Amino acid sequence: MGGIGGIGAIDGGRIEAMIAQLKAAAAKPGGGVEAGAPAQPAGKVDFADALKASLEQVSANQIEAGELGKRFTAGDNAVSLSDAMIAMQKASIGFQATVQVRNKLVSAYHEIMNMQV
């Protein structure tokens, strides 16, 4: 099963690098945009594709955790308790984060729908 580090996955190192870039941009005067610097076009990211990839990754993590749990319970010596527990925690954290994103999207939708036009 290729649930960990699959296509579209964002590992901890990439997240830390993104946070460092955001902090560096926030520390620059003028919101991180240098005067006279040519504007570089941002890479086009489709929100629906990014959301779908994230959901698929969460699903893959849950499936992998379930399989590792079953294998450990069945007595497979290739699976340690720590591997099964770590996979289950990763799946749980991923699911909780997905629920929080969903809650924020619903909240934003309601806020937009309640705006006066």
Residue 36 has pLDDT above 90, yes or no: no
The rounded distance, in Å, linking the Cα atoms of 76 and 71 is 5
Residue 30 has pLDDT above 60, yes or no: no
Let me know: does 11 contact 57? Beta carbons within 8 Å.
no
Q: Band of the pLDDT at 15, cuts 50, 70, 90?
A: low
Q: Band of the pLDDT at 46, cuts 50, 70, 90?
A: confident
**pLDDT, the chain, mean:** 79
Tokens for 49, please give them: 């594709």
| pLDDT score at 41 | 56
| Mean pLDDT, residues 62-91 taken together | 94
Name the residue with tokens 């893959």: 60
Q: Band of the pLDDT at 27, cuts 50, 70, 90?
A: low
